Amino acid sequence: MKVADLSSYLLYPNPEHPALTDQVIGKDQDGNEVSVDVVTERGLTVYLNRQEIVTLMTLGDHPHYLALGFLLNQNMLRPDDVVTGIDYDEELEVVIVRTERATNYEDKLKKKVRTSGCAQGTVFGDIMEKFDGMQLADASRLPISAIYALSKQINTTPSIYHKAGAIHGCVLCEGDKPLVYMEDVGRHNAIDKIAGYMYQHGIEPQDKVFYTTGRLTSEMVIKTVQMQIPILISRSGFTAWGVALAKQAGLTLVGRAKGRNFVVLSGEERLVYS
């Protein structure tokens, strides 16, 4: 397989990182011994100041970005919050995000929803109340040629998925250029890592495109809208609630993007058919 041009990436997967996969010995259909690469899965407990928020099952890379992005997408960390420190203890598998603003989310933590995301996706408290008032700006435009180019580049980028499978990827893009590619055992973790990266590096979302290898579910739509990214693309399919929420918020939702085929079920006006 021809490897993609990686020059546009700010960050992309490292499939050779020894901590992200293990080798397991088994047998194949003919009874022959085989060595198989499998992805790691470990817990990461996230604290916001002194309060324990959640334990996430994760691949284990980029814990700082994952913690920041999770807190942002749960409305526990505000875009204008001043983060005074992020402490990660690898042995204890704990990350602590510290802010200038005093925080207490005891009431919010009592109400949580397990989402359709693998590796226990979780949504807390008042997410839907905030979502109901959100509407994306419609200025962004994307030529359909960019959809084809992104699909080809992302699918030929070296990844843990190619090495071991059993993993989801999310990619932040600008036009036909992929910028930040994150992978994790849960697609919700991959998108949170990108949210954390954008927050820490001051990346503006209004002209960006989000690409995911996973299904276009309600959770993926909600997080993309909260991140203010106007276009979401997947090589996988849709859920009905995901489509309904995309239409409500004015999100361009493109699925089943494989080769030169795709289906758009919301926000078609942002695509340029030339």
Looking at residue 120, what is its pLDDT?
46
Report, as ranges of residue numbers, the positions in the chain whose pLDDT lies below 50: 114, 116, 118-120
Please calculate the CA angle 161-239-67 and round it to the nearest 5 degrees: 55
What pLDDT sits at residue 100? 97
Helices (runs of H) and strands (runs of E) counted in the chain: 8, 16
The pLDDT assigned to 109 comes to 77
Q: What is the dihedral of CA 48, 72, 167, 145, to 10 degrees?
A: -160
Domain limits of the chain?
1-274
> How distant, in Å, are the alpha carbons of 94, 170, 174, 266 from that of 249?
35, 21, 21, 10
- Euclidean distance between the first and final Cα of the chain, in Å? 29
Say yes or no: domain 1-274 is CATH 3.40.140.10.
Answer: yes
**What is the reported pLDDT for 105?**
86
Cα–Cα dist 153/135, whole Å: 30
pLDDT of residue 133: 83
What pLDDT shows up at residue 243? 98
**What does pTM read for this prediction?**
0.92
Tokens representing residue 164 in the block: 């071991």
Supply 36's token pair.
Answer: 């198989």
